[in-house]
Structure 1
């Protein structure tokens, strides 16, 4: 369930999607196939013929997160063949036999799945992609699958901790007697907004508000940045960087501003913190991680994907500089972040 702290990150290029495919808000969506060079490169680098998305920066494993990214990109770029193969592999290899969620990791060496715990971010992305595909291609079965995932997530991965309603990273292992561990980057705001539409009686609108409030309250150190992993004390509700993890704004937390901006939930305080970091280190010298307690930075610069998130989060779609291309990235996670930043920018125009 826990991701490698050493994996690298991401990029972009100029994108030409039709307005119909980009918005997905109208009842009639353009069905004309859109050939995008970055998606084509992404497929060639990370999508195997059987539908598995490969994390080449993490021993070639696969994640429910990555399968969700692949499904999301395929539905965005109207690629029915890729979507079908990714969904088939996901169902055959990660789907729980007794429910609608997915095991978080698949490894190339047998036994391929050694931990059947789910990852909330992966399940949310899969549900979002299924809903998008249902709208684009008129597939009611996809919408039903998305709703089933969301409803089970609500039952198994949402907890009331004191006055807070929180999203657990997985169904097991994060809710303990003294408190809960959460990952704020799992609060994928646009996906949660879609979850609320799929499951109007569910906890999603409260989670959206609560997630934004958590980010605003989880600012630590010199820069006022949120950590990758956060602990919420059960009795006092005190927020601290979670023990057992480096107290860093890093490869998980970089998704926090991406999803908050995309969901129109970006707190001004986080924008100010990112701006200060970008001014201090410049965009080309962004750190791979920053210790939120000491202010120490990594001895290497962040991959291109960090730059794409910073640019999108700080500039928005109207003044978005040219992002890196997928070809520059060389890494699955980096490329995935870049494509998300590009799509987010398009959809917010």
Structure 2
């Protein structure tokens, strides 16, 4: 999983460590180097643009497309890499400029959820000008990290973060359940009850509450904890579905059916809920959240029983496919590392590609972001 040069360097470090009776520090350094190496590979393969940088998600086929989800991942990855010593400030600012150029309007800082290359320009038309909550949440958190990493004298990340959070609260949070909606387009009570379970980011919400001193975010965090506890209790596996209906201030949950939201896996662990272990681990990392930790431990108990992690599970734990995908493995690996589940961390580490996959935006990007956490 590391390059030939890194293997040599690691061997030297291990030798020194053995002389002094400890190898913990060199091992930690090797992990950091690996994450930044992956970040650099990912940037070369998936990042386009010059003064405005964007994350391509079309996997090399058809017209170039960009989504706010990917832009959020890109901004998050670049500032996390900076925290590990990489020189990414210029890259982050270029990501930030692209985000600003593709806001819904100069007065509305939510990002248009998709852009397509048309006549040499990336533009959004029609429903592409709606927002996607998960992308906006990552962008807001990345701006907070940028403010802490570089300050806001040259570029006012702090003002941008607070402005974005004000509009996320107004347009992307359900005012009855206080849970995240899918986007600003979810204005009817039916659409507003649709919950993407991987949007339950308690660590973010508690961070937003502290950063803005706005108690609404504390309420969003508390209601998200309630949803997490109820989702975890639905099955012995503790697995969350891609989507579910959540209604009322007490958070009443109703299962979705296949294709009711997005795809055949709406009520299974599919390509949305595969991110849940990462988001729950963030809740523990950022806020020592007990609800996130308990739900995550239950899921990791399930995954520990598997010989390998495969793609898509029913909520009762049946594997739907027998093949692997990094989008499922990387979040579990990050979660296992976070909770110091050594056995599962080692097992899933062996499943991760040693170099970042090409033409596989989602899997490659999740591998990079979770490695940098």
Shorter-chain-normalised TM-score: which range?
A: 0.7 to 0.9
Partner of 1:114: 126
Partner of 1:96: 105
Q: Could you say what the CA RMSD is over the residues aligned between the two structures, in angstroms?
A: 3.1
Q: Which of 127, 141, 155 is equivalent to 1:128? A: 141
Q: Which of 266, 269, 276 is equivalent to 1:249? A: 269
Contact kept, 8 Å, 1:216 with 1:267, in 2: the verdict is no
Contact kept, 8 Å, 1:46 with 1:54, in 2: the verdict is yes
Q: Which of 159, 166, 172 is equivalent to 1:157? A: 172
Partner of 1:29: none
SS in 1 for 2:334: helix
Q: Aligned in 2, Cα 1:291/1:96: closer, same or farther, shift over 3 Å?
A: farther
Partner of 2:11: none
Indicate whether 1:329 and 2:344 are aligned.
no
Indicate whether 1:105 and 2:107 are aligned.
no
Q: Aligned in 2, Cα 1:236/1:217: closer, same or farther, shift over 3 Å?
A: closer
CA distance in structure 2 between the aligned counterparts of 1:235 and 1:83, rounded to whole angstroms: 38
Q: Aligned in 2, Cα 1:73/1:277: closer, same or farther, shift over 3 Å?
A: closer
Runs of 4+ in 1 over 4 A off after TM superposition: 11-14, 57-60, 219-222, 234-237
Tell me by how many angstroms 1:109 deviates.
4.3
Partner of 1:282: 307
Q: Aligned in 2, Cα 1:91/1:315: closer, same or farther, shift over 3 Å?
A: closer
Q: Which of 49, 53, 56 is equivalent to 2:55? A: 53
Q: Which of 217, 221, 243 is equivalent to 1:229? A: 243
Contact kept, 8 Å, 1:221 with 1:295, in 2: the verdict is no
Out of 210-219 and 297-306, give the one that drifted further. Answer: 297-306
Q: Aligned in 2, Cα 1:237/1:137: closer, same or farther, shift over 3 Å?
A: closer
CA distance in structure 2 between the aligned counterparts of 1:159 and 1:216, rounded to whole angstroms: 19
Indicate whether 1:304 and 2:326 are aligned.
yes
What are the within-5 Å matches in structure 2 for residues 124-203 of structure 1? 124-140=137-153, 141-161=156-176, 164-173=177-186, 175-177=188-190, 180-203=193-216
Contact kept, 8 Å, 1:178 with 1:235, in 2: the verdict is no
Instruction: List alignment gaps of at least 5 residues for structure 1.
Output: 1-10, 15-33, 345-349
Contact kept, 8 Å, 1:174 with 1:181, in 2: the verdict is no
Number of corresponding residues: 310
CA distance in structure 2 between the aligned counterparts of 1:228 and 1:309, rounded to whole angstroms: 15
Q: Aligned in 2, Cα 1:327/1:178: closer, same or farther, shift over 3 Å?
A: closer
- CA deviation vs aligned residue, 1:76-111 (integer Å, no higher than 9, x gap): 223022112211222223443331111111123476
Tell me by how many angstroms 1:212 deviates.
2.1
Partner of 1:268: 294
CA distance in structure 2 between the aligned counterparts of 1:125 and 1:295, rounded to whole angstroms: 29
Q: Which of 82, 87, 91 is equivalent to 2:96? A: 87
Instruction: List alignment gaps of at least 5 residues for structure 2.
Output: 7-33, 83-87
User: Who wins on radius of gyration, i.e. which is larger?
Assistant: 2
